[in-house]
Amino acid sequence: MQCPQCARPMRALFVSMVCDFCDGLEDDPGWHRGWVVWRGRAMPADEYVFSTPEHAEKWRSIQGLEDCPVKEVRAPMQFRWRVSSGSAKGLEMADRPVTIYPDRRFPAAPNRAFLTEAQAP
């Protein structure tokens, strides 16, 4: 760029960058929902994610975790649901543990989600 007065080259002094997604200027309406029995671990934490709060509550009861709340998680990519077998038969859950982050600012990848403030009714 040239100086408008003397036509000599100008030097850039500041460069500013912003991430519209992380700074909340762009919201992705395509989040996918799931439910987790939140044990309050340090994040990121791997947890089982269920398709409904009722399935999460049933698993919580089987595991003896009644003191842990069932909370909503959201993911940028669809969960691949499967029906559980073993001691907790018939629960629809993600095909493998999901890494849970404290907020939506994490690299998008399969089996990653963030914890929302929403709790099961």
- pLDDT (tens digit per residue) in 43-92: 999 999 999 999 999 999 999 999 999 999 999 999 999 999 878 899 99
Domain covering 32-119, topology: ADP-ribosylation fold (3.20.170)
13 has pLDDT over 90: no
Q: pLDDT tier at 112 (50, 70, 90 boundaries)?
A: very high
Strand order across the beta sheet in which 32-37 lies: 32-37, 70-75, 112-119, 98-101, 45-47
Partners of 93 in the beta sheet? 50, 82
What are the residue boundaries of the structural domains of the chain, listed by start? 32-119
Give the number of residues written for the chain: 121
For residue 99 the two structure tokens come to: 């890494």
For the chain, strand residue ranges (E) read: 32-37, 45-47, 70-75, 81-83, 92-94, 98-101, 112-119
